[in-house]
Structure 1
Amino acid sequence: MSPRQITVLGECVADAFTEPANTANELALRVLPGGGPANTAVALARLGVPTRFLARLSGDVFGRMFRAHLEASGVDLSDAVAAAEPSTLAVAELDAAGQAAFSFHAQNTADWQWTPGELAGVDLTETACVHTGSLALVSEPGAAAVEEFLAAASSRVTISIDPNVRPLLVDPEVYRAKLAHWCGLADILRLSEDDLGILLPGTPPERACDLWHAAGARLVVITLGADGALASLDGRRLLVSGAATRVVDTVGAGDSFTAGLLHHLGARGLLGGRLDALGLDDVAEACRFGAQVAALTCSVAGPNPPWRNQLEQLATTGGV
């Protein structure tokens, strides 16, 4: 049997949400463990996938929170680096629809300091898929080391990338300049319609899919919020409806969708290579499952993805 483990590489971010304070000149913050790759790792582990997380974890108060959160969710941290630098902090403001706008405090923090030596010894023998993206792929000095790791791994495992564009922190031109190269490394590219609007303004999703296929990505999935997702496998496309839910906030929804997608593909033995056995029906089922995982994440506060038993209960009751 092919290996089932999924290895996730990327950042942990302390997500601080504003809350009402006792007086007008105070600001109260509720801090939750987040960060796109960390959210995906947690969601995968909670779904029952053997999940290893390659992270640089600070020893500060936030880093200790990350470690406890990841371990409690069943994530393997045996290859995580104990970092001397501080953790990354993001302050989130939610609008009336639960959409979050983030401001980042991320200069010289632990997440971006990867060295080739820290990744050189990672054993991928049991890994079917490496997933990464977000700021780890664009934040120097570590981004170059992450790309080198992906290039070396791409001949042995399925590569999944989520750009997760953060224009307030990194100039979108940096993402645009790198995206074709990432598609050359990736088998799966998952991004949001907001990402698409930033990366290729005014470009229809179908045209964007064709451009990214031409650059090398076999499966492109563009999530459309409550409207579901557009998936394109080598140019053959389908639209999957979203799962209805009561939205508390949308933090971590895309990360949870990715976890559901990868979980479903991995459980069917479709990860571990170049997706040669993948069919459009498989993609549709995986996207529908991903949408259910994302909907459950939206139904609670913060990046708090569901556990497998919650998905099983959902299947029994037929609703979110």
Structure 2
Amino acid sequence: MPVIAVIGEAVADAFLPAEAAGGLDLRITPGGSPANTAVALSRLGTSARFLGRLSTGPLGRLLRGHLTESGVDLSASVDTERKATLAVAALDADGRADYDFYAEGTADWHWTPAELARLAEVPVEAVHTGSLALALPPGAGAIRDALAEARTSATVSVDPNARPGIVDAATYRERLPLWLPLADIVKVSDEDLAYIHPGEDPLDVCDRWHEQGVALVVVTRGGEGATASLRGERVEVPAVPVDLVDTVGAGDSFTAGLLHTLGRLGRLGGRLDALTATELREALDFAALVSARTCATEGANPPWARELAT
């Protein structure tokens, strides 16, 4: 299997109980979209190398332990005394999370070029990034520069994973054109598109992103499955039925399932020139399965490969 590097935040997710009279008992679990993707990749059997800035405080130790126990390579991550980012989440009746982020001055956003130079220490076939790491200064620009250098030999994957509570839609519209020319794969949810490009047909957005250089755009639609556009060729797959617990981490697990399969098929390491629609469908079907299994558990707890064999 190839080595896939993931750059971005690791966040402590604190879940509010349904009823909280007279005080709150928070359930805190490891999260953060890029960290979730790295965990899911490693559990599926792909060598996942996580470039994160991990706090040395108690929440940072929780995050580090979770990544390590899942087999993620942390040799390129950075230890910092800054506090870990905290996201307080409330789940609605459909298992979707609404987040309040406590991210001002926290560990995840202060990348330097010297820290990101660790990306080049080990050859990788793909680099994935996304979420708040794309949008928040001062680190976003340094990550973009690192991707520009990495794409000479690696496939680049991006998930905007819009966070309305902390980054406004105008910022995404302004910054995505800086990222799209570097990306070979963009995975985006229909909710993200409705926030960033309200009222636009998702397929029209796919075509516009192809014009900016993206070979593969995948739009996930929750229980309605996913639609992919490979240089304009459309492929659709249904969602996998599941007894839903919550959707936390489902999109990140979908991304991991997609990248894992593309790596197994030998399609990572370039611009996806040889990827066929049949192979893409196989990758999407597996991604939908991994995502569904994540939805069957509490929080961002993606399945291990051995669990998918049963």
Once residues 97 and 233 of structure 1 are traced to their aligned partners in structure 2, the CA distance between those partners, rounded to angstroms, is 31
CA shift, 1:80, in A, is: 0.6
Query: 1:194 corresponds to which letter in structure 2?
Result: E
Q: 1:249 aligns with which of 246, 259, 266?
A: 246
* Alpha carbons 2:14, 2:89 under 8 Å: kept: yes
Once residues 248 and 119 of structure 2 are traced to their aligned partners in structure 1, the CA distance between those partners, rounded to angstroms, is 30
Once residues 20 and 255 of structure 1 are traced to their aligned partners in structure 2, the CA distance between those partners, rounded to angstroms, is 25
Once residues 122 and 51 of structure 1 are traced to their aligned partners in structure 2, the CA distance between those partners, rounded to angstroms, is 12
Aligned to 1:318: none
* Structure 1 residues 121 and 93: alpha-carbon distance in aligned structure 2, compared to 1, 3 A threshold: closer
Aligned to 1:15: 13
2:264 corresponds to 1:267? yes
Once residues 275 and 193 of structure 1 are traced to their aligned partners in structure 2, the CA distance between those partners, rounded to angstroms, is 23
Once residues 259 and 122 of structure 1 are traced to their aligned partners in structure 2, the CA distance between those partners, rounded to angstroms, is 19
Provide the secondary structure at the position in 1 that maps to 2:26.
strand
- Written as runs of structure 1 = structure 2, the 5 A alignment for 1:53-202 is 53-123=50-120, 125-202=122-199
Once residues 190 and 228 of structure 1 are traced to their aligned partners in structure 2, the CA distance between those partners, rounded to angstroms, is 13
Superposition CA RMSD, Å = 1.1
- TM-score, scaled relative to structure 2: 0.98
Provide the secondary structure at the position in 2 that maps to 1:42.
helix
Once residues 74 and 88 of structure 2 are traced to their aligned partners in structure 1, the CA distance between those partners, rounded to angstroms, is 26
Higher deviation after alignment, 273-282 or 30-39:
273-282
Once residues 24 and 304 of structure 1 are traced to their aligned partners in structure 2, the CA distance between those partners, rounded to angstroms, is 28
Identify unmatched segments of 5+ residues in structure 2: none
Between the two proteins, what is the percent identity of the paired residues? Answer: 53
- Written as runs of structure 1 = structure 2, the 5 A alignment for 1:299-314 is 299-313=296-310
Once residues 137 and 227 of structure 2 are traced to their aligned partners in structure 1, the CA distance between those partners, rounded to angstroms, is 32
Once residues 121 and 187 of structure 2 are traced to their aligned partners in structure 1, the CA distance between those partners, rounded to angstroms, is 22
CA shift, 1:183, in A, is: 1.3
Aligned to 1:317: none
Aligned to 1:6: 4
CA shift, 1:62, in A, is: 0.6
* Alpha carbons 1:34, 1:303 under 8 Å: kept: yes
Once residues 14 and 170 of structure 1 are traced to their aligned partners in structure 2, the CA distance between those partners, rounded to angstroms, is 19
Query: 1:214 corresponds to which letter in structure 2?
Result: E
Q: Paired residues, what number?
A: 310
* Alpha carbons 1:46, 1:74 under 8 Å: kept: yes
CA deviations over 1:220-271 (Å, ceiling 9, x no partner):
0000001110000000002110100010000000000000000000011100
- TM-score, scaled relative to structure 1: 0.95
Query: 1:230 corresponds to which letter in structure 2?
Result: T
Once residues 188 and 180 of structure 1 are traced to their aligned partners in structure 2, the CA distance between those partners, rounded to angstroms, is 14
* Structure 1 residues 125 and 86: alpha-carbon distance in aligned structure 2, compared to 1, 3 A threshold: closer
Q: 1:216 aligns with which of 209, 213, 216?
A: 213
CA shift, 1:30, in A, is: 0.1
2:30 corresponds to 1:38? no
CA deviations over 1:177-234 (Å, ceiling 9, x no partner):
1112211000000010000101111111110110110111000000000111000000
CA deviations over 1:27-75 (Å, ceiling 9, x no partner):
1100000000000000000001011000000011110000100000000
Query: 2:73 corresponds to which letter in structure 1?
Result: D
